[in-house]
Structure 1
Amino acid sequence: MSVRAATVAGVGVTVGFDLDMTLIDSRPGMAAAMNALGTESGLPLDGERFAANLGPPLDDILRGFEAPEERIPWLIDRFRALYPEVVVPVTVALPGAAEALRVVHQAGGNTVVVTGKYAPNAQLHVDALGLEVDEVVGELWSTRKAEALLAHGAQVYVGDHLGDVRGAHAAGAVAVSVATGPCTREELAAEGAEVVFDSLTEFPEWFANRFAGQAA
């Protein structure tokens, strides 16, 4: 079935998308920001390791780097302050991201980004890259993503991490995965993703076929 045909068939479908390594590749900037934070704080923060495993909340990441608990609030605030100038300018949209969002809108649906990232910084990415997103919800991770997915009536959630699959399931949404992040195809499938794509370039055809016959 063509995407054009889905304009009628898929009307009203709300699709949630993760941000990092689903819609955007923020790894170079994330590594640079974490390394800068390590230099400023004098802590052994590994930007490259951080960027290779994007997904979990920043406070959990910092604890994993053995940052002292009492310093974590300042570290988070400082990372967020560095973010607009260090991360946003060097971040790019992943292949198929713009078209995946567009096909939902062409079908009369809505798109919502649900991310663990600080929402104002997530919005900066959406604006800088001109992504067609109706709503951005931040600071939700794994099954807590269901809060936003349920609030927006999302029927599908697309992400790159096992936590995204869990969030979709917790919301009763179809879990769609892309193997563009830290998790393998096998891991994502074993977690219960309905489908795993190599990239979002495969999403439009799947979306058209999956929602064929759905009435408005």
Structure 2
Amino acid sequence: MGIVVGFDLDMTLIDPRPGMVAVMNALGEEAGLPLDGEHFAANLGPPLDHVLRDFGAPEDRINGLVDRFRRLYPEIVVPETVALPGAHESLAAVHEAGGRTVVVTGKYGPNAELHVKALGLAVDVLVGELWSDGKAVALREHGASVYAGDHLGDVRGALAAGAVPVGVTTGPCGRKELLDAGAEVVFASLDEFPAWLSRRPLSGARAPAR
């Protein structure tokens, strides 16, 4: 069986930041809350309910705000989102090696699927609403031996699943942070991923014990 490679979505495969600024600001204006779209977009990764709590949203409004964000999202964020450098090429490299691609993201699944379809990303399996160590559930289920992401939470998820953690600095975390968290290798973008993958064995690519 060929290799299974997992990828994060936001700031790994796609750049949704302009739309994220707009949707969070729109939600804040509508709800009468001080929600900072620029800060949100610069620190993508944590689940939305965590973000809203950090902005000081009242606990009894969190569920409603999450639902409203998800309804606003398709028209505001999806049209403004672009694929990051190397995204299409990295997915293609996995398929050319006879493997499968799995996207595991903290994003709401239906909205993540809209991005995949809009940008024509060659994704075999998409799993949403998993964050940090929780991503290991899907990575193990689908047999991923490599997981690439931009956030410390992605590294933790890969390690928890026994997959090789690959970091990219297209998101909020720097090279040293990702390496210190346990990433085996860190790239400036996914442009570097296909060549790295071509040098690896196509099976048994599990992360070493740490």
Q: TM-score range by the shorter chain?
A: over 0.9
Q: Percent identity?
A: 72
Alignment-derived partner of residue 110 in structure 1: 100
Which position in structure 2 is the counterpart of 1:93?
83
Deviations 1:17-69 (CA, angstroms, capped at 9, x unpaired): 00000000000001100000000000000000000000000000000000000
Give the structure 2 partner of residue 132 of structure 1.
122
CA–CA separation in structure 2 for the residues paired with 1:42 and 1:204: 46
Cα distance in 1, alignment partners of residues 192 and 64 from structure 2 = 41
Whether contact under 8 Å (2:3, 2:203) holds in the other structure is: no
Alignment gaps of 5+ in structure 2 = 205-210
Confirm or deny that 1:29 pairs with 2:5. no
Q: TM-score, normalised by structure 1?
A: 0.93
TM-score (structure 2 length as normaliser)? 0.96
Q: Show structure 1 runs of 5+ residues with no match.
A: 1-10
> How far does residue 210 in structure 1 lie from its aligned partner after superposition?
1.5
Structure 1 residue 213, shift from structure 2 partner: 8.1
Q: CA, structure 1 residues 213+51, in 2 after alignment: closer, same or farther (shift >3 Å)? A: closer
For 1:160, the aligned partner's letter is: D
Question: 2:151 and 2:203 mapped to 1: Cα distance?
Answer: 30
> For residues 44 and 166 of structure 1, what CA distance do their matches in structure 2 show?
31
Contact 2:8 2:149 in 1 (8 A): yes
Cα root mean square deviation, aligned: 1.0
Letter in structure 2 aligned against 1:146: A
Aligned to 1:119: 109
Show the counterpart of 1:189.
179
2:16 and 2:114 map into 1 onto residues whose CA distance is: 12
Q: C-alpha separation between the residues in 2 aligned to 1:43 and 1:213? A: 50
1:102 maps to a residue whose letter is A
Higher relative contact order (CA closer than 8 Å, sequence separation 6+): 1
CA contact (8 A) 2:149 2:155 kept: yes
